[in-house]
Amino acid sequence: MAAKLVYGGQIWTSLARLSYSWSTLLALLIGGRWPRAEAGRAAYLWDTVPVARGDGRLTHDLLPGEKGPQDACGVFGVWAPGEDVAKLAYFGLYALQHRGQESAGIATGDGHKVLVYKDMGLVSQVFNESALQSMTGHVAIGHCRYSTTGGSTWENAQPTLGGTDTTTVALAHNGNLINSAELRELIAARHGELDRHPGEIGRGNTTDTALVTALLSDPDRSLEAVALDVLPRLRGAFCFVFMDEHTLYAARDPHGIRPLALGRLDRGWVVASETAALQTVGAAVIREIEPGELVVIDEDGLRSHHFATPEPKGCVFEYVYLARPDAVINQRVVHEARVAMGARLAVEHPVAADLVIGVPDSGVPAAVGYAQGSGIPYGQGFVKNAYVGRTFIQPSQTLRQLGIRLKLNPLAHTIKGKRLVVVDDSIVRGNTQRAQVRMLREAGAAEVHVRISSPPVHWPCFYGIDFATRAELIATGLGVEEIRASIGADSLGYISLEGMIEATEQSGDRLCTACFTGRYPVELPEDGRIGKHLFEPLPIDLSHSARDVDPAPLVDGSGPGDEARLRIGGIRVDVEGVSYGVDGGAQNALLHP
């Protein structure tokens, strides 16, 4: 009997490419559609009424020209016989929603089969009660995505699915690999044409996660043995949770760039990107998955393997912005780190003022710290719409012009006539801060002094955080005084690199600070072999001859050591030795020169 992998009709309907045997019966259901009878019968999918599907984009579109740093993803895994593992995964993902809002998915395993359900949108939009009730078993993994390698499409949503005739693999990934091109070549050498690959790659998945899923699908060895062979070949940032029909696996890259924590339930184990997600499902936090560690959990208990020598380089930006304030990373409570950053800012950049306000959400703890450090009272100056980004209705042009007001509104009676210190976590393009300053002045602020709890962002991240391109970063080519003038503030102060690191209570040599310093802890590949759309057709027409494209530098080169060039033949941008592919950075730079 042939395996059945059931898709919504608009994506794929052909089963001809599948190589799974009937013993790995899989149902993959999308589009808010669910069969009224048993899974695996496509006919039932057509009978249901399609519902509106989110595209996950509105958060970025609310404020034209501005997009803050975007998290890579959140991952969750649970092994707990007797528990409702699908619902544990659902609420775990709910606690991690801030890490990725483009798509969500859960896989469950019951010892016989693996079922994956995924779709575009927020966790609460993708799943409903009946969907979760249909997902039974003792092991589950979950994923909420922000795209880094591979565009934001249904095909690229996770968990990904792979396997062999005897074992199914479902995989969820937080982070970003930098040797994806090399891995793809390795798979091509083994399997031939990749568009005929029997797994996710052949079905149009263009992510690094699909490559790893393919590598883990080895018929000759156990999944545990294959993982110990594959994991050391990967470069970059990865926190994986993966599973087969029986077993939960969790692995973290040797640099531990992204966080991954282990928790204990009364009847099982849980892993999650952040400790808060463990606590959300009632698990006791045990420890972090160590850099270079693979943890395997099944009926025999928990086994730990170290597949590489640890060289810790945790992402400092997790402390600044990315993680929830109630997360604990390497024994440091993120909220306390942010308060300490604010206190340090007060020392480094004091100013005479009447009130300190924070930009919700991640600027608030630093504002509290600034108030404590300076003795200036803290107050609430903004009200945030807590549900912004929770709709997929596109704003009209009139609403777009209101821009940031769809997200934040100033408390005019609090700030009128006051000299304000406004604390935020970072400046990317500067458009947000410019709009905030203007809004505060319109609300009656006498002075607006902006303080930032991270240093200027000069470099893109290749380890799972989507910043603007180098050409779009306001700190590229502009000094602090020029940025101050650009955003219209009365004064501007960034915390020093040393001050930020000290606030994390981590040793500086155990942190990644590349987006501030340009010192990338994992060597980057050359020749444009990196980028978000590395394995995708370009959405812009690059079939120009050289004379069709303005060969002027995309970056003005006025920054120290800057040397930016657009290469027409190779279509590549080189900045201080860092190469951006025709996609990702260069592509965006081409679109927004």
126 vs 586 by CB, closer to ligand SF4: 586
Q: Find the shortest distance in angstroms from Cβ 466 to ligand SF4.
A: 9
66 vs 244 by CB, closer to ligand SF4: 66
Of residues 514 through 533, those in contact with ligand SF4 by CB under 6 A are 514-515
DSSP H or E stretch at residue 189: helix 180-191
249 vs 317 by CB, closer to ligand SF4: 317
Segment contacting ligand SF4 (CB under 6 A): 160-168, 298-306, 394-402, 513-521?
513-521
Q: Are 141 and 159 in contact (CB under 8 A)?
A: yes
Q: Find the shortest distance in angstroms from Cβ 501 to ligand SF4.
A: 11
317 vs 580 by CB, closer to ligand SF4: 317
Q: Find the shortest distance in angstroms from Cβ 318 to ligand SF4.
A: 7
Q: Which residues of 353-385 are buried (b: 16+ CB within 10 A; e: fewer)?
A: bbbbbbbbebbbbbbbbbbbbbebebbebbeee
Under the binding rule (CB under 6 A), the answer on residue 428 touching ligand SF4 is no
Q: Find the shortest distance in angstroms from Cβ 189 to ligand SF4.
A: 30
Under the binding rule (CB under 6 A), the answer on residue 461 touching ligand SF4 is yes
Segment contacting ligand SF4 (CB under 6 A): 84-92, 285-293, 421-429, 510-518?
510-518
Residues 6+ apart with CB under 8 A from 321: 68, 69, 362, 425, 426, 454
Segment contacting ligand SF4 (CB under 6 A): 221-229, 353-361, 509-517, 524-532?
509-517
Under the binding rule (CB under 6 A), the answer on residue 94 touching ligand SF4 is no
Please pick, from the candidates 107, 473, 512, 522, the single residue that binds ligand SF4 as defined by CB under 6 A: 512
SS3 225: helix
# residues contacting ligand SF4 (CB under 6 A): 11
53 vs 324 by CB, closer to ligand SF4: 324
| d(C-alpha 425, C-alpha 494), whole Å | 9
Residues 6+ apart with CB under 8 A from 92: 76, 78, 142, 270, 272, 277, 278, 280, 281
| d(C-alpha 140, C-alpha 88), whole Å | 9
DSSP H or E stretch at residue 270: strand 268-272
55 vs 311 by CB, closer to ligand SF4: 311
Q: Find the shortest distance in angstroms from Cβ 467 to ligand SF4.
A: 7
125 vs 426 by CB, closer to ligand SF4: 426
| d(C-alpha 501, C-alpha 330), whole Å | 13
DSSP H or E stretch at residue 365: helix 363-374
Residues 6+ apart with CB under 8 A from 80: 88, 138, 139, 265, 267, 268, 269, 270
Q: Find the shortest distance in angstroms from Cβ 435 to ligand SF4.
A: 24
Q: Find the shortest distance in angstroms from Cβ 464 to ligand SF4.
A: 7
Q: Are 477 and 556 in contact (CB under 8 A)?
A: yes
Provide the 8-state DSSP code for 282: T
Segment contacting ligand SF4 (CB under 6 A): 328-336, 339-347, 511-519, 576-584?
511-519
| d(C-alpha 387, C-alpha 407), whole Å | 9
Q: Are 367 and 423 in contact (CB under 8 A)?
A: yes
5 vs 72 by CB, closer to ligand SF4: 72
179 vs 213 by CB, closer to ligand SF4: 179
Build a one-symbol-per-residue string for 467-506: x at contacts with ligand SF4 by CB under 6 A, - elsewhere: ----------------------------------------
Segment contacting ligand SF4 (CB under 6 A): 240-248, 384-392, 461-469, 486-494?
461-469
| d(C-alpha 109, C-alpha 214), whole Å | 19
Please pick, from the candidates 101, 153, 362, 513, the single residue that binds ligand SF4 as defined by CB under 6 A: 513
Give the sign of the dihedral formed by CA 151, CA 154, CA 155, CA 160: positive
Under the binding rule (CB under 6 A), the answer on residue 578 touching ligand SF4 is no
Q: Are 470 and 575 in contact (CB under 8 A)?
A: yes
The single residue of 73, 144, 461, 515 carrying the catalytic annotation is: 73
Which one, of 136, 44, 123, lies nearest residue 81 by Cα?
Answer: 136
- Please return the burial class of 352, using the count of CB atoms within 10 Å of its CB with bins 0-12, 13-18 and 19+: exposed
| d(C-alpha 115, C-alpha 122), whole Å | 19
Q: Find the shortest distance in angstroms from Cβ 366 to ligand SF4.
A: 17
Of residues 190 through 209, those in contact with ligand SF4 by CB under 6 A are none
Beta strands in 133-267 (DSSP E): 139-145, 160-163, 168-177, 236-243, 248-252, 261-265
Segment contacting ligand SF4 (CB under 6 A): 238-246, 393-401, 448-456, 460-468?
460-468
Q: Find the shortest distance in angstroms from Cβ 339 to ligand SF4.
A: 20
Build a one-symbol-per-residue string for 242-271: x at contacts with ligand SF4 by CB under 6 A, - elsewhere: ---------------x--------------
Under the binding rule (CB under 6 A), the answer on residue 463 touching ligand SF4 is yes
53 vs 255 by CB, closer to ligand SF4: 255
CA distances for 65 relative to 62, 395, 428, 434, angstroms: 9, 15, 11, 12
Q: Find the shortest distance in angstroms from Cβ 216 to ligand SF4.
A: 24
257 vs 566 by CB, closer to ligand SF4: 257
Q: What is the dihedral of CA 464, 466, 468, 470, to 10 degrees?
A: 10
- Please return the burial class of 174, using the count of CB atoms within 10 Å of its CB with bins 0-12, 13-18 and 19+: buried
Build a one-symbol-per-residue string for 299-328: x at contacts with ligand SF4 by CB under 6 A, - elsewhere: ----------------xxx-----------
Query: DSSP letter string over 289-347?
Result: PPTTEEEEEETTEEEEEE-S-----EEHHIIIIIS-TT-EETTEEHHHHHHHHHHHHHH
Q: Find the shortest distance in angstroms from Cβ 56 to ligand SF4.
A: 21
Is 512 marked active-site?
no
Q: Which residues are catalytic?
A: 73
Q: Which residues bind ligand SF4 (CB under 6 A)?
A: 257, 315-317, 461, 463, 465, 512-515
